[in-house]
Structure 1
Amino acid sequence: MPKQAAHNNTSSLMIVTGEASGDLHGAHVVREIKKIFPTIECYGIGGTQMQQVGVDIHTNVSELSVVGLAEVLKHYPRLRKILNKTKYSLKQKKPDLLILIDSPDFNLPLAKTAKQCGIKVLYYISPQIWAWRKNRIKLIQKYVDMMAVVFPFEEKFYLDANVPVEYVGHPLTKEAKATVEKNRLINSNELDPNKKLIGLFPGSRLSEIENNYPVLLDSAKTLLKQREDVQFITPVASTLSNDLIQKYISEAGIEVNTTSNNIYNVINACDAIAAASGTVTLQITLMQVPMLIIYKISPITYQIFKRIVKFSYAGIANVIAGKEISREFIQADATAKNVSTELNKLLSDERYIAEMINNMQKIKNELGNKDGSANTARLAADLINT
């Protein structure tokens, strides 16, 4: 364990994330950092998870939760105002360390400001620059002191670019476990224990809900016409309101249970899941629950992405595996017919299910059991102490 800094009483760090999953990862890192620096001052951009471990939240993560070019342009004035406010805070407070979590379009400009102010920068969870916009590596080379990456192949990518890097392990490998039994969640949510439970996971950003949830709800309605032994549940991310989700459910005219319960408890209770592409698909993979992936974005954003993104899959587990272990339905393929047909297969084709679960286990084995949060906290302490 790194030694405690002599200036511990005045140590401070700013931590910034742009989405719900980063709020969770950031909270775990801060918890580990406080084991090393019990009185460190932590502040920045995050959500309820980071707030619960003592981070002073200046801006809620929900303010940044947009995805896609068209969506970003729509909200650009507000995002720019938040960025400028955060830069000003960096310059005024001059923390000992800036920890950035993913969200590169917001965070790389912050890294530049930090470097200009002599503030050290630790980047946790790399942008997917190995897949698209690889020129961002130049910004990382100039402005980031240490990359803490969560996939084994990312370490070599940065080493080849002469960027200080450590593969710390993926934080989800330690987090991915249910805390209550399946039957308990079924009963507490007044679900029918004799019916199959289908998870409808639409994402954590408003734009993801707008683009993906109607498809998931239509798919559920289509599946109900084929079989009556199914019921549905949607976890509500901390960046969203339950009222918003209920509005979509009401408009669809279908019964869907909603919950803010621990995401792993919800995953564990499901027999199959239809999920929007994102961190949650890796969480589902690690819990080894049969899954399909959908993703829809604005047409203009999709056309641009098709020209510049250099990987074959949307789901991170499929990217790691180098093959489609869970079916993906992207853009025009994300239809109620396609999704309901695949859900039916995930409930009834035992050989298909077994093969998918076996491939998920291989992904879990490949990611190993490193403690990503504790290792990242150690890197943070090293940067603060030097």
Structure 2
Amino acid sequence: MAATLRVALVAGEASGDILGAGLMQALKMRYPQVEFLGVGGPRMGAEGLVSKFPMERLAVMGLIEVLGRLRELLGRRKRLIAELIAAKPDVFIGIDAPDFNLTLELKLREAGIKTVHYVSPSVWAWRQKRVLKIRQACDLMLTLFPFEARFYLDHQVPVRFVGHPLANTIPLQADRAGAREALGMGLEDAVVALLPGSRGGEVARLGALFLDAAERLRALRPGVRFVLPCANAERRAQLEAMLVDRDLPLLLLDGRSHEALTACDAVLIASGTATLEALLHKRPMVVAYKVAPLTYRILKHLVKSPYISLPNLLAERMLVPELIQDAATPDALAQALAPLLDNGAVQTEGFDTIHRALRQDASQQAADAVLKLVGRA
């Protein structure tokens, strides 16, 4: 009977929990004698991981919030290092959460444990010197995007591009008619999805701007309708307050962002991971983003990438309009959106090529890479 494979994993937020669960499923299919330990959420728990502490304790965003919890985070990491070294797993997989996981990986690798980091931090865009720590900490980097893998190869970091799980989850051709019917919209309607972000700060900066742009677009295209998926009850309340005294034909949804993207003709969207979902749904888009003025001035000097949106990074060209900071005005956004209602094919043909390139069955690819690393393929 084959020896048991012991795999340690740490995920720090919901997206990592999804990736971790998919990887655990794939590992169990290929190597049934596997046991898991570490930190994860409910999806990873359903696959057999008993979390050493609630994953939510790692889900901290913002400098002030991190400083307020720094002692707790450092204490948890120190104890976790000791527990994992004592447990002697065959491999440790840090899933995203680089500020927590890279130091953990470094200490475990120094103790002779194989280490994998799953999901590259945006080291290719800014703080590029972090690649030196990654090279020390990781036996293998698993990337979701091909341009990331090229960056690590250039910096002598062992890497494997595994694709993005969403590329397999989202069909190559979405059911637009079914989504329209579910939302009570006719096939002849011109529909624009508004996605100003899922966090309170994003919606505070972009929500009113997107609604102003919708009003300008309606002046250009009087029949256009809008749909806006809300990430949670707090974001819905925030947006409802912004809609007071506005006369917009807008449907607020509780979640259902994939349904909104399937149904719409074009998207006005905040820069972030949601742009990948819009790309995979083959919806032409205009990307906008604003940050605090001081933050923008600092980032201008730090960011090395010529683009900020994933579609352009993946296409390696300006495939979708990016309107950033002062350029993101209601009139400019409306003017960029209007032609996409009639002809978004230039974008969507490029999107289809990218979708097929990312459709690699990421969980199976990641499991294969992990098992090869530990000699259990």
Aligned to 2:29: 35
Please state whether the residue corresponding to 2:308 is helix, strand or coil. coil
CA distance in 2, matches of 1:355, 1:62: 44
Aligned to 2:362: 372
Query: 2:230 aligned with 1:259, yes or no?
Result: no
Change (3 A) 1:279 1:195: same
Change (3 A) 1:144 1:189: same
CA distance in 2, matches of 1:206, 1:108: 28
Query: 2:4 aligned with 1:7, yes or no?
Result: yes
Please state whether the residue corresponding to 1:130 is helix, strand or coil. coil
Query: 2:352 aligned with 1:355, yes or no?
Result: no
Change (3 A) 1:165 1:312: same
Query: Is contact 1:91–1:117 with CA below 8 Å preserved after alignment?
Result: no
Please state whether the residue corresponding to 2:69 is helix, strand or coil. helix
Change (3 A) 1:75 1:163: closer
CA distance in 2, matches of 1:118, 1:266: 48
CA distance in 1, matches of 2:293, 2:325: 8
Count residues in correspondence: 367
Q: When the two structures are superposed, what TM-score results if normalisation uses the length of structure 1? A: 0.82
Query: Is contact 2:190–2:225 with CA below 8 Å preserved after alignment?
Result: yes
CA distance in 2, matches of 1:191, 1:321: 32
Kindly state the Cα deviation for residue 80 of structure 1 after the two structures are TM-superposed. Answer: 5.6
Query: 2:68 aligned with 1:72, yes or no?
Result: no
- Matched AA of 2:161: Y
Please state whether the residue corresponding to 2:337 is helix, strand or coil. helix
Unaligned segments of structure 1, at least 5 residues: none
CA distance in 2, matches of 1:52, 1:335: 46
Q: 1:147 aligns with which of 141, 155, 161?
A: 141
CA distance in 1, matches of 2:260, 2:16: 19
Q: 1:110 aligns with which of 90, 93, 104?
A: 104
CA distance in 1, matches of 2:289, 2:71: 27
Which stretch of the first structure deviates more once superposed, 282-291 or 263-272? 263-272
Instruction: Pick 1 or 2: higher relative contact order, CA cutoff 8 A, min separation 6.
Output: 1
Query: Is contact 1:23–1:61 with CA below 8 Å preserved after alignment?
Result: no
Query: Is contact 1:23–1:50 with CA below 8 Å preserved after alignment?
Result: yes
Aligned to 1:213: 207
Please state whether the residue corresponding to 1:256 is helix, strand or coil. strand
Kindly state the Cα deviation for residue 6 of structure 1 after the two structures are TM-superposed. Answer: 0.8
Kindly state the Cα deviation for residue 93 of structure 1 after the two structures are TM-superposed. Answer: 4.3
Query: 2:375 aligned with 1:381, yes or no?
Result: no
Query: Is contact 2:191–2:264 with CA below 8 Å preserved after alignment?
Result: yes
Change (3 A) 1:32 1:207: farther
Unaligned segments of structure 2, at least 5 residues: none
Change (3 A) 1:180 1:174: closer
- Matched AA of 1:7: T
Kindly state the Cα deviation for residue 318 of structure 1 after the two structures are TM-superposed. Answer: 0.7
Q: Deviations over 1:2-57 (max 9, x none)?
A: xx96124xx24223244x544433332222123234452354245x6545555556
Which stretch of the first structure deviates more once superposed, 296-305 or 228-237? 228-237
Please state whether the residue corresponding to 1:274 is helix, strand or coil. strand
Which stretch of the first structure deviates more once superposed, 50-59 or 94-103? 50-59
Kindly state the Cα deviation for residue 297 of structure 1 after the two structures are TM-superposed. Answer: 1.9
CA distance in 1, matches of 2:295, 2:352: 34
Kindly state the Cα deviation for residue 292 of structure 1 after the two structures are TM-superposed. Answer: 0.9
Q: When the two structures are superposed, what TM-score results if normalisation uses the length of structure 2? A: 0.84
CA distance in 1, matches of 2:172, 2:48: 25
Query: Is contact 2:20–2:44 with CA below 8 Å preserved after alignment?
Result: yes
